[in-house]
């Protein structure tokens, strides 16, 4: 019984804050996304994101270089009740690109996989 409880507690342990931070932080010469601090810095200037924009960016950064479908993004950011509202994703992606990309028409970070979804592209 004690072994079972210990096993359950081990599985329930949260990763240390440094582990979580390393996984959910992105930084390069132009963009810094610090999920733990809820900070986004673009070209040296702090950028204000709405809570939904930040949550969407956090999901994308947390799954960097992995394509997330429209439905996956809707479920993770807005909840399952919104899985049919693909326009939500498109609109918020547009807003994010306006705020974090140097040229939103030719994005460097938030990439589109036509007909599938989006992904955050880590440079380097």
29-87 residue pLDDT tens:
999 999 999 999 999 999 999 999 999 999 999 999 999 999 999 999 999 888 888 89
Q: Identify the pLDDT of residue 83.
A: 81
Q: Identify the pLDDT of residue 50.
A: 96
- What is the spatial distance between Cα 25 and Cα 40, in angstroms, rounded to a whole number? 10
CATH topology of domain 16-120: Arc Repressor Mutant, subunit A (1.10.10)
Q: Identify the pLDDT of residue 81.
A: 86
CA proximity to 20, closest of 77, 50, 58, 47: 58
Query: Per-domain residue ranges for the chain?
Result: 16-120
Taking 70 as the threshold, does the pLDDT of residue 115 lie above it?
Answer: yes
Give the bridge partners for 34, in sequence order: 25, 39
Q: How confident is the model at residue 8 (pLDDT cuts 50, 70, 90)?
A: low
Strand, coil or helix: what is 40?
strand
Total-model pTM: 0.79
């Amino acid at each position: 019984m004690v072994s079972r409880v210990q096993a359950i507690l081990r599985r329930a342990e949260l990763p240390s804050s440094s582990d979580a931070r390393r996984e959910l932080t992105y930084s390069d010469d132009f963009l810094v996304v610090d999920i733990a601090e809820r900070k986004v810095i673009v070209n040296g200037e702090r950028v204000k994101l709405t809570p939904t924009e930040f949550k969407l960016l956090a999901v994308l950064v947390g799954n960097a270089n992995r394509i997330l479908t429209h439905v996956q993004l809707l479920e993770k950011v807005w909840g399952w009740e919104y899985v049919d509202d693909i326009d939500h994703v498109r609109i918020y992606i547009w807003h994010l690109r306006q705020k974090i990309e140097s040229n939103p028409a030719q994005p460097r970070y938030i990439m589109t996989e036509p007909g599938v979804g989006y992904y955050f592209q880590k440079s380097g």
